[in-house]
Amino acid sequence: MNYAYMRISTNKQHTDRQEYILKDYFEKNNIHIDAWFVDVITGKTFDRPEFSKLKDTVKSGEDTVYFTEVDRLGRDWDGIKREYKWFEDNVVNVIILEVPTLSMSIYKEDGTVDLNIKLIKSIVLDTYCFASQNEREKLSRRTKDALQAKKEQGVKLGRPATKKAQEVIDLIVKMAKEGYSTREIQFKTGKSRQYVCKIKKQYA
């Protein structure tokens, strides 16, 4: 049997794009899908109701599961590999449309598993996971560098403070500039030493 899985991270997103890609592929290749599974949950967690239901549904040596992209399986190398390995260990064919090599079936015409195809798909997945995670880590570093640069330029980061919280911050900064000690500022504001030191470092 054939199954399709889609995942989006939040309710603000839509599955339209994934659904279009999958249906277009199924139509062009004359594939009938027996069931669709859809999760609205971040890829960082593997406690996904529909994904778990899918894994409980598939049968070893018979079924095929279709995904649009590798990251529908997870968000990091280890997570993706772990889930992919689960399907491999249970002899369930996985088709990932964004990577042509991963769209090859591991089943021969007689229904047995083609070990050469299985090996090739495993190697390609490893390479793709490396590239994907490496790109995410580079993006994360660039974001941190950009935030650090803004901080050094005096740009205030984080969520805007409420009016009352901002008044406390302004008072801490004012007292610090006037030479009051941290203990004196604590007594005046009722804030912890850690908080006062943090504000002094960030604003004073």
Confidence of residue 50 (pLDDT cuts 50, 70, 90): very high
Cα 148 vs. chain centroid, distance in angstroms? 24
23/20 Cα distance (integer angstroms): 5
180 is written with which tokens? 């009051």
Domain assignment present for residue 46? The answer is yes
CA angle in degrees (0–180, nearest 5) for 163-169-175: 135
Domain assignment present for residue 151? The answer is no
Q: Is the pLDDT of residue 157 over 60?
A: no
**Sheet of 93-96, strands arranged across:** 35-40, 2-8, 64-67, 93-96
Q: 176 lies in which domain range? A: 163-203
Domain check: are 103 and 178 in the same one? no
Domain check: are 22 and 122 in the same one? yes
How many structural domains does the chain have? Answer: 2
25/95 Cα distance (integer angstroms): 11
Q: How many alpha carbons fall within 13 Å on the CB side of residue 188?
A: 17
The CA-atom distances, in angstroms, between 152 and each of 28, 72, 139 are: 55, 38, 20
Are 39 and 55 in contact, with CB atoms under 8 Å apart? Answer: no
Domain assignment present for residue 70? The answer is yes
Are 98 and 68 in contact, with CB atoms under 8 Å apart? Answer: yes
Domain check: are 124 and 74 in the same one? yes
Domain check: are 39 and 87 in the same one? yes
Phi-psi category of residue 133: left, alpha or beta, with phi > 0 → left and psi -120 to 50 → alpha: alpha
Domain assignment present for residue 145? The answer is no
Helix 182-189 with 193-203: angle, nearest 10 deg: 110
Query: What residue type is 48 in one-letter code?
Result: R
Task: Look at 192 and 14; give whichever has higher pLDDT.
Answer: 192
Strands 35-40, 2-8: parallel, antiparallel or unpaired by DSSP? parallel
Q: Is the pLDDT of residue 81 over 70?
A: yes
Domain check: are 132 and 167 in the same one? no
Task: Look at 75 and 169; give whichever has higher pLDDT.
Answer: 169
Domain check: are 34 and 103 in the same one? yes
Domain check: are 132 and 171 in the same one? no
Domain check: are 115 and 178 in the same one? no
Domain harbouring 116, CATH code? 3.40.50.1390
Q: How many alpha carbons fall within 13 Å on the CB side of residue 59?
A: 5
99 is written with which tokens? 């990577």
Domain assignment present for residue 35? The answer is yes
Closest CA to 121 of 76, 64, 75: 64
State which of 3-7, 88-92, 125-129 shows the largest mean pLDDT.
3-7
Domain check: are 130 and 175 in the same one? no
pLDDT by residue (tens digit) across 96-129?
Answer: 998 878 778 888 888 788 889 888 888 888 887 7
Domain check: are 121 and 177 in the same one? no
Domain assignment present for residue 154? The answer is no
pTM > 0.85: no
